[in-house]
Chains A and B, each alone.
Chain A
Amino acid sequence: MAGFFVQYVWLIPLFPLLGGLIGGFGATRLRFNAALPLAIGLAASFLFSLGAWMSAGPETTIVVSKWLAAGSFVVPIELRVDGLSTLMVSMVTFVSTLVVIFASGYMAGDPSYPRFFAFVGLFVFSMTGLVLSNNYLLTYAFWEGVGVCSYLLIGFWYARNSAADAAMKAFLVNRLGDIGFAIAIFWLWTIVPNNDLSYTNVLADETLRNLPDSARIGIPLLLFWAATAKSAQLPLYVWLPDAMEGPTPVSALIHAATMVTAGVYLIARSTAMIALAPGVQVLICVIGCATALLAAAIALTQNDLKRVMAYSTVSQLGYMFMALGAGVGGVAQLAVVAAIFHLFTHAFFKALLFLASGSVMHSMGDVIDMRRFGGLRHRLPYTCWTFAIGGLALAGIFPMAGFFSKDEILLALAAAPEAAHAAGASWGWVYGLIYWLALLTAFMTAFYTGRAFFMTFWGPEKLPSPDDPEAPRGDGHVVEGDDPGHGHHHVGEESAPIMTIPLMILAGCAVVVGVLFGSTGWLEHHLEGMFGFEGLGHSEHQFGWGTPILGMVAGLAGIALSYLLYAEPNPAPARLASTFRPLYRASLNKFYVDEIYQWTVMKILWVGAAVLRFLDIEFVERTIVGIATAPRAIGRNALAVYQNGLIQFYAAASAVSIAVLLLFLLFS
């Protein structure tokens, strides 16, 4: 039985693809049932993933078919069924099943309803393929696949300019990162034995030992570059907040739970190689920390509920990279487990938070500005309490899922200075600093989560109305009646059960996955079945009460502060904002990162493009046109004369030619 699920593991990507295709091609016939085949396919994939989970082993791979073969360069479609890939694939299929069920209610009434589910099917196909593939090149192909799906889904309401722009921005920024991945693959190809890019070969001890010094630093750097784009880290995180222009289920599935974790997955998968470059690891850690802090600082003042969640996602991804970067020397195993564990729990509670935000948005008639509604806890009871559970998990409060995973990351960070010192590195103190910054980030996370919750659900009840003084601003987001999207129901009513039930299931997961997988050590045990995990450095860590208590205190303090400031209408936040006006303005305007990019990178690119255009027109084109006139002139003036249409002339010409040829052959 165990072998069965490994044998047929390729069905996991195939089911969602088929479901999406049936929904897409049967669009006219199925109409608003188009979600059904996809939901069935996803559920089947989830069952297969569970089966594969049970039979995962570090060396289990299966060759499905041959993909590329060019001389000695062969890329089979080979899938790896180890601890990491089964964990990811189970999480992806589970979350996407629930999101699709939610979306079937959320998107009801949209004229392009079947198209949405066709794209989601394609996305899940690419994502499961990405985590299952056993080859850098195949991973890269699927990596591009999820990028395309992300583009298609962000721009789902393409008639709206902001959505089309956001989709283009996401696509272009991701291309920038993909360059890094592509170069890393080219480089690897030149140095690994047999030109074999499979993980089995590249991450083998033998290969890693023989890597040249430049590649030992360069390839991890390039892979991390790729990860910064896909997983929204500094300096390439700018696309993710804008990606919230897509439908909310897309934000939940792609831009919170699954696709943005692909970078974390890539780095975790390549840990064996990255552990050889402690300098790169500390860079990953620093960038993760900077991103987490910056995004949390921006999230403090945002008024758009989905944008708060978007920056929170960026911040939490930064947390994961902090963990991965902390994996020096003996901490390597702990760090990978912590990062993957946080990825795992984050997928549940962040998908939950996004879907709950979507539910709020749905009930409020597509208004998402938190200043325009409030006190919704009686009107939207299910949404309120599931949001609360998700928020507590995000804030890292015991016994929610986030507590355990965040705690593990902090533990890894706390152990890192000593390990770095033992490994002979002089920058151990950086990890110590990052530990405290991570705690600060945890405090801020709890604060903005609490703020979003209290502004939305607490205080006196208030529904959006056009008379609201805040209304005309609209925060650049959806203006009422402007939405080409989903159907409207009565403003201020709780969403239908088809939307609240997935919320409840996810809330249940947000409560239990931490206890179930973390405290019992199940997840760590499962990850021991990851390829190359055994080879990573590990040492005994004694459990200390200090870190969990500090993390918990930071979370509780953040929530308490947000309760004081936002639970009831209160002049204090406004007073604070005017006291620290420059800081407040900077945070509200996202620290002007987009503007800075506009004025530096974009300007340079424009100038470069203008120069290249000039060169192209003045030199390249003229040269080519000049060269092209020569054959035309020769043909017209010299050769056309002989095409006189007389059969006998042609016959004579061929007779003479043959005679000359024969003479040549005879006398040479």
Chain B
Amino acid sequence: MTDLLTIDYLRDYLLVGAALFALGMLGFLSRRNLIVMFLSAEMMLQGTALSLIALSRYHGNWNGQVFTIVILTVAACEAAIALALIMILYNRRASLDITLWHELREEAAPAVVPALEEAATAELVEAIEGPETYPSLTPAGLEPEHPIQPWTERRR
């Protein structure tokens, strides 16, 4: 690690990192698709990692880089668990919409998305025979369709 970053380079790196982080957070907060939210969370992690690496290079010690490697490992584990969870959730409601899952709210509190109240309390769909289809991403910028897609949608 002989050639340290100059302050100008550092600034650029940090800007990119911050932008990644901010975009990720924005995505996490605004999108309702579980997979997109997961990807946004990953993006926030990458933004942080980039800042760490840049600062590590700037200061000339390895801590930031080591830390980044740990972050990558954790992110891999998290991806495995999160995707598995998303699979289970999708199988229960046949949709990736996050707002279908708000059972943890206070009972007295009103449902935030009234239209979904009915959907959330609807009977869980039963699994049917045959090869399963897998969830697909909703195109970016489009609102997911409501209420629940019929089960046949999975076979599309």
Which residues of A line the B interface, CB within 8 A?
A: 636, 640-649, 651-652, 655
Contact = CB atoms under 8 A, between A and B. Distances in A.
Interface in B80-107: 98-99, 101-106
Contacts of A649: 112
B28 A648 contact: yes
Q: Which of A636, A646, A651, A652 has the most CB of B within 10 A?
A: A646
Q: When A and B form their complex, which 5 residue pairs have the shortest distance between CB atoms, in order from nearest?
A: A645-B105, A645-B102, A643-B106, A640-B106, A645-B104
Given A651-B28, A652-B29, A655-B25, A645 B108 contact: no
Interface string B14-28: 000000000001001
Contact of A646 (B25, B28, B99): B99
Contacts of A641: 106, 109-110
A478 to B, nearest CB: 64
Interface of B is mostly: loop
A201 to B, nearest CB: 59
Contacts of A652: 29
14 contacts: A641-B110, A643-B105, A643-B109, A644-B112, A645-B103, A645-B105, A646-B102, A646-B112, A647-B98, A647-B101, A648-B32, A648-B98, A651-B28, A655-B25
Given A646-B99, A647-B98, A648-B98, A640 B29 contact: no
A641 B111 CA distance: 10
B102 A644 contact: yes
A645 B110 CA distance: 10
B32 to A, nearest CB: 8
Interface of B: 25, 28-30, 32, 37, 98-99, 101-106, 108-112
Contacts of A643: 104-106, 109
A489 to B, nearest CB: 72
A648 B29 contact: yes
A652 B30 CA distance: 10
Contacts of A640: 106, 108-109
A636 B107 CA distance: 10
A651 B106 contact: no
A636 B106 CA distance: 9
Nearest to B113: A646
Q: Which of B25, B29, B32 has the most CB of A within 10 A?
A: B29
A636 B105 CA distance: 13
Nearest to B99: A646
Nearest to A643: B106
Contacts of B101: 645, 647
Contacts of B109: 640-645
Q: Which of A636, A642, A648 has the most CB of B within 10 A?
A: A648
B29 A655 contact: yes
Given A641-B106, A643-B105, A645-B112, 8 more contacts: A641-B110, A643-B104, A644-B109, A644-B112, A645-B104, A645-B105, A648-B28, A652-B29
A655 B103 CA distance: 22
Nearest to A641: B109
A535 to B, nearest CB: 73
Given A644-B112, A646-B99, A646-B112, A651 B105 contact: no
A648 B109 CA distance: 16
Contacts of B25: 655
A644 B105 contact: yes
Contacts of B102: 644-646
Nearest to A637: B108
B88 to A, nearest CB: 16
A631 to B, nearest CB: 15
Q: Which of B37, B103, B112 has the most CB of A within 10 A?
A: B112
Nearest to B108: A640
B73 to A, nearest CB: 23
Contact of B29 (A636, A644, A645, A651): A651
Contacts of B103: 645
Contacts of B98: 646-648
A422 to B, nearest CB: 85
A643 B104 CA distance: 8
A666 to B, nearest CB: 15
A641 to B, nearest CB: 6
Nearest to B103: A645
Nearest to A636: B108
Nearest to B112: A644
A652 B37 CA distance: 13
B71 to A, nearest CB: 18
A644 B107 CA distance: 9
A642 to B, nearest CB: 8
Contacts of B99: 646
Contacts of B112: 644-646, 649
A659 to B, nearest CB: 10
Contacts of A636: 108
Q: Which of A636, A645, A651 has the most CB of B within 10 A?
A: A645
A660 to B, nearest CB: 15
Contacts of A648: 28-30, 32, 37, 98
Nearest to A649: B112
A648 B110 CA distance: 16
Contacts of B111: 644
A21 to B, nearest CB: 52
A471 B97 CA distance: 91
Nearest to B102: A645
B39 to A, nearest CB: 15
A649 B109 CA distance: 14
Nearest to A655: B25
A646 B106 CA distance: 11
Nearest to A640: B106
Contacts of B104: 643, 645
A655 to B, nearest CB: 6
A652 B26 CA distance: 9
Nearest to B107: A640
A49 to B, nearest CB: 69
A662 to B, nearest CB: 13
A644 B102 CA distance: 7
A422 B101 CA distance: 96
A647 B102 CA distance: 8
A651 B112 CA distance: 15
A228 to B, nearest CB: 62
Contacts of B110: 641, 644
A507 to B, nearest CB: 81
A642 B109 CA distance: 8
Contacts of A655: 25, 29
B18 to A, nearest CB: 13
A645 B106 CA distance: 7
A645 to B, nearest CB: 3
A636 B30 CA distance: 28
A648 B26 CA distance: 10
A170 B103 CA distance: 60
A645 B108 CA distance: 12
A651 B29 CA distance: 7
A645 B29 CA distance: 14
B94 to A, nearest CB: 19
B134 to A, nearest CB: 22
A655 B41 CA distance: 13
